[in-house]
Amino acid sequence: MRIDIISVVPQLLESPFSHSILKRAEAKNLLHVNLINLRDYSINKHGQVDDYQFGGGAGMVMMCEPLANAIDDLTQKNGKYDEIIYMTPDGLCFNQKAANRLSLKENLLIICGHYKGIDERIRQQYVTMEISIGDYVLSGGELAAAVVVDAVGRLIPGVLNDETSALFDSFQDNLLAPPVYTRPADFRGGKVPDVLLQGNPKNVDEWRHEQSLQRTKQRRPDLLEGEL
């Protein structure tokens, strides 16, 4: 999978993709993340990519031309994108289902907004999907893009060492994950449940499923709506 990310502060995204699972995904040639500095497409030698908003009001708006030129150029070089995603708090709320769906794509472009956001006409003319990572406002779309790339990247087959492990993540089947334990078996009086120490796979599976259900009922009953 190829993911291109357009940003005015691409440096913000260098670290998240240079470590751990996503670094391994790059090394295995399963995922390529490319950072594009929008200023490379600015309209003048001052590197301008934003301007005052029509109608007045505080805050700058990211201009059409640099974004359109960047998207056109990238599309010409890399082929048509499966989705052109704009990170914005007024987008659709990101969840595991969306991550699963995006992990099946080959070629994604993500636009990170800054300031007041991007000119509406870019949303109308280019953007195919708008994603929010939650009901709060970040100072830019970069950290939100990093969240999406992480959640999607780890679902690409072969990225995780133990291929089955993503299957048991929270949300994968609308259930939260069960509790997990490692050594020691007794930590300051806190005991690991016997069923896990005994290690009978069928009993362990049943126990984990039961714990997942209980935890979901307690913490996120909304996930079970329509499921029971």
Query: How many other C-beta atoms are found inside a 10 Å radius of the C-beta of residue 103?
Result: 18
Query: How many other C-beta atoms are found inside a 10 Å radius of the C-beta of residue 219?
Result: 10
Q: Of the ranges 10-18, 28-36, 52-60, 81-89, which one interacts with ligand ADE (CB under 6 A)?
A: 81-89
Bond prior to 178 in cis (omega within 30° of 0): no
Q: Within 165-184, which residues bind ligand ADE (CB under 6 A)?
A: none
Nearest to ligand ADE by Cβ — which residue? Answer: 144
Residue 16 lies near ligand ADE (rule: CB under 6 A): no
Q: Which of 10, 16, 66, 89 binds ligand ADE (CB under 6 A)?
A: 89
Q: What distances in angstroms separate CA 62 from CA 6, 66, 107, one per listed residue?
A: 12, 8, 24
Minimum gap (Å) between residue 101 Cβ and ligand ADE: 17
Cα–Cα dist 115/147, whole Å: 20
- Do the Cβ atoms of 174 and 148 come closer than 8 Å? no
Minimum gap (Å) between residue 140 Cβ and ligand ADE: 6
Q: Of the ranges 4-12, 67-75, 83-91, 182-190, which one interacts with ligand ADE (CB under 6 A)?
A: 83-91
Residue 141 lies near ligand ADE (rule: CB under 6 A): yes
Residue 88 lies near ligand ADE (rule: CB under 6 A): yes
Run of H or E residues at 209: helix 201-219
Q: Which of 87, 108, 127, 175 binds ligand ADE (CB under 6 A)?
A: 87
